[in-house]
Amino acid sequence: MNVLNRMGDEFFKGVWRENPTFRIVLGMCPSLAISTSVVNGVGMGLAATFVLLGSNIMVSLVRNITPSKIRIPMFIIIISTFVTIVELVTEAYTPDLHKALGIFIPLIVVNCIILARAEAFASKEPLWYSIADAIGMGAGFTLALVLISGIREMLGNGTLLGVPILGLHYNPSIVMIMPPGAFLTIALLIGLMNYITRKK
Amino acid sequence: MEKLAVIFFSVVLINNFVLARFLGLCPFLGVSKEFRPALSMGIAVTFVMTLASAVTWVFYHSLLVPYHLGFLQTIVFILVIATLVQFVEMVIAKTSPLLQEALGIYLPLITTNCAVLGVSLLNIKQGYNLIETIIHGFGGGLGFTMALLIMSAIRERLEFAKVPEWMKGFPIAFVLASMMAFAFFGFQGFFSS
């Protein structure tokens, strides 16, 4: 029972308390670059979650036989292997998504969240906790992406998941789906998070 | 020659790596609190980006293409970059203690800088030749340095401003980045083609 409690704890840690995007501010590059529509946001979130899960499982399994001196190169090879899997699978089955995410799929390799979780968590903790940690962090990252891309798609395009929701009279402000809008959205969201947690 | 100039200026100003392509945001936010460290970081990144562009291009066209190993691109590139950074670090430590002191702590961080891997992937994607690749890498690094320096200069002034407690740190830095991205919009349409 204790194990399950701890697993739940590790999961929710990633979703809220240590949300990678809003609280630790890691992995900003993809969060801003591809969050122009919710579809892209979900795609990126799931891709990163898959890589995170795969790398956390592998790193946790080999943690006792890894010499500490070469651990970082090992982590990087494990991560880039999973990234290559994602790259090939998305290219084969969802070519549109692959095209929209562009170089940000291979760039998952250098997403700080994944290396940070491998180094700070999976290389020290047993398998089940590492899995919970990966799913939690992945969910937190995906939720953050959905939130950012939802706001940007709604204000910048007047749609949500491609469906017009703000009515015909809404004049979309294109700037929201361009770079300045991305920076502004994340600035206000992190500020809002700080404001909410400060009150408690 | 004209094409080289177009590549150079568009990567520095129009498609700036930080402000338009969102690559290398971690150092852009992490090392931009003061001017001097920002300058060191910028020089280190420019150096590694130029070198990595050239080396990964050669690896791709001499090893991956002839043996039809294109799908290994990501793994090979990240290993090449990690090795390269380690190598540069060793050379600098041996030859120039002064440079070592200025850049030392920034070099290891560069391995996981997405601008370096990003520029290597973009070179291949855009089908540049070796000269164009080097210009693209160097210009990208220069654009990154410029954005980083402007950002650090503004943040130094910001120390004296009254920012609400909950907007301090990252949020206000992102607002600044947003304003800078707006300003860089002015360069859009620089080249008519």
- Lookup: tokens for B66: 């002839």
Position B104 scores a pLDDT of 65
Task: Indicate the residue of A28, A30, A191 with minimum beta-carbon distance to B167.
Answer: A191
Average pLDDT over residues B35-57: 90
pLDDT tens digits, one per residue of B4-36: 998 999 899 888 899 888 888 888 888 888 888
> For residue B183, what is the nearest residue in chain A, using CA coordinates?
A180
Whether residue A20 is contained in a domain is answered as no
Contacts of B155 (CB under 8 A, 6+ apart): B32, B33, B34, B173, B176
At residue A1, the pLDDT reads 59
In percent, how much of chain A has pLDDT > 70?
98
Mutation for A interface: B21, B31, B74, most A CBs within 10 A = B74
Q: Is residue A177 part of a domain?
A: yes
ipTM of the complex: 0.87
- Give the domain range for residue A97: 2-14+28-199
The chain B residue lying nearest A21, using CA atoms, is B170
**A199 touches B: beta carbon within 8 Å:** no
Query: Domain for residue A21, yes or no?
Result: no
With an 8 Å Cβ cutoff, are A32 and B22 in contact?
Answer: yes
Decide if A109 and B26 are in contact by the 8 Å CB cutoff: no
User: Looking at the 3D structure of chain A, how many domains does it have?
Assistant: 1
- pLDDT score for A44: 93
Q: How far apart are CA A17 and CA A140, in angstroms?
A: 10
Contacts of B29 in chain A (CB under 8 A): 25, 28
d(CA B58, CA B115): 19
Domain assignment present for A176: yes
Predicted model pTM: 0.88
**CA A143 to each of CA A33, A45, A87, A123, B58: distance values in angstroms, whole numbers, following the listed order:** 16, 8, 22, 25, 40
Strand partners, A159: A164
pLDDT tens digits, A175-186 = 888 899 999 999
Residue A19 lies in a domain: no
- pLDDT tens digit string along B60-87? 999 998 998 888 899 999 999 988 888 8
Question: Is residue B99 pLDDT above 80, yes or no?
Answer: no
Nearest by CB to A184, from B19, B166, B175: name it.
B175
B86's tokens: 């380690």
- Is there a contact between A29 and B20 if contact means CB atoms under 8 Å apart? no
Least confident segment among A45-59, A82-96, B101-115: B101-115
